[in-house]
Amino acid sequence: MIRKRIIAGNWKMNLTRVQALALAGQLAEISVSGDKEVRLYPPFLYLNEINKLVQRNESLSIGAQNCHHEEKGAFTGEISAEMLRSMHIRHVLVGHSERRMYFKETNEQLLAKLKLALNNDIQPVFCCGEPLEHREAGTHPHFIENQLSRALFLLDPKTVGQCVIAYEPIWAIGTGVTASKEQAQEMHAFIRSLVDQKFGTTIAENIQILYGGSVKPDNAADLFAMPDVDGGLVGGASLSAEQFIAIIHA
């Protein structure tokens, strides 16, 4: 089974408007083979402008870093899935470790976000990953299974196949430490096996699983060569056009 590779850049809370438009403008000019898709996740403020800027490049699309778990209401400062749809945003990150950690997002909220995104024809990218203490204790497979079973795996089988999974070991996010290609492959294969057990082989073989955690030009090729690694969710390196383009072509 050949799955399209996704190389996604999560800009997080970085870049001024001028910097963001300049970076997006550079990336809008790249030529990407048909077996790859490039995604950018800018801050909310820039979504509309950047989406228009990159529209001419069919291989490049724009997603949101988050959406609220309620459909609408008195939630000052929040963004709904319906708002994203009205701006023609095609995908959204759900459950990033930084959202779980700093904003105390619960599994119940993440499940609600998944459903709202799907109901608005927005593809969720569901993030999962273990902290260092679970990796060192050898309990990381159970930790990941718990994250999946309490949110993503509660979706209807007809819709779970429309999602993307991003495996991001928390100990490798922004630390400069990267999971080895063998560690990444082991966990991606494990996640795919869980999908197979829950939803069947067809969905498991087709669902895309991305690796996130200090992906850089010098390790991207090795990581992406693993059979169950379908691309990367890139953090810091996506803020540099030179580095991100190198990762895209890795």
Instruction: Please state, in angstroms and as integers, the Cα–Cα distance from residue 159 to each residue in 8, 109, 119, 154, following that order.
Output: 22, 18, 10, 10
Mean pLDDT taken over the chain: 96
The beta strands (E) that lie in 145-230 are given as 164-167, 209-211
Q: Tokens 């383009």 appear where?
A: 245
Q: What band does 46 get if pLDDT is binned at 50, 70 and 90?
A: very high
Strand partners, 64: 92
Q: Which domain CATH number covers 222?
A: 3.20.20.70
Find how far residue 209's CA is from the centre of its chain. Answer: 9
Task: Specify the DSSP class assigned to residue 4.
Answer: P
What percent of the chain has a predicted confidence (pLDDT) above 90?
Answer: 92
Burial class (CB in 10 A: 0-12, 13-18, 19+), 220: buried
How high is the pLDDT of residue 133?
A: 93
pLDDT of residue 146 exceeding 90, the answer is yes
Q: What band does 176 get if pLDDT is binned at 50, 70 and 90?
A: confident
pLDDT of residue 88 exceeding 90, the answer is yes
Q: Please, what is the angle between helix 241-248 and helix 217-224, to 10°? A: 20
Q: Looking at residues 61-87, what average pLDDT do you find? A: 98
Q: What band does 5 get if pLDDT is binned at 50, 70 and 90?
A: very high
Q: Are 99 and 105 in contact (CB under 8 A)?
A: yes
Q: Are 75 and 68 in contact (CB under 8 A)?
A: yes
C-alpha 66/C-alpha 43 separation (Å) is: 9
Question: pLDDT (tens digit, 9 = 90+) per residue, 149-169?
Answer: 999 999 999 999 999 999 999
- Give the pairing type, strands 60-64 and 36-41: parallel
Question: pLDDT (tens digit, 9 = 90+) per residue, 201-231?
Answer: 999 999 999 999 889 999 999 999 999 999 9
The token duo for 108 is 């119940």
- Active site residues per annotation: 96, 168
Q: Looking at residues 30-45, what average pLDDT do you find? A: 94
Count of domains in the chain?
1
C-alpha 139/C-alpha 130 separation (Å) is: 9
Q: Looking at residues 73-95, what average pLDDT do you find? A: 97
C-alpha 124/C-alpha 142 separation (Å) is: 23
Q: Which amino acid is at 135?
A: R
C-alpha 144/C-alpha 153 separation (Å) is: 12
Rounded to two decimals, the pTM is 0.97
- Give the pairing type, strands 164-167 and 209-211: parallel
Residue 125's Cβ-side half-sphere holds a number of Cα atoms within 13 Å equal to 31
Q: What band does 1 get if pLDDT is binned at 50, 70 and 90?
A: low
Q: What's the domain range around 103?
A: 5-248
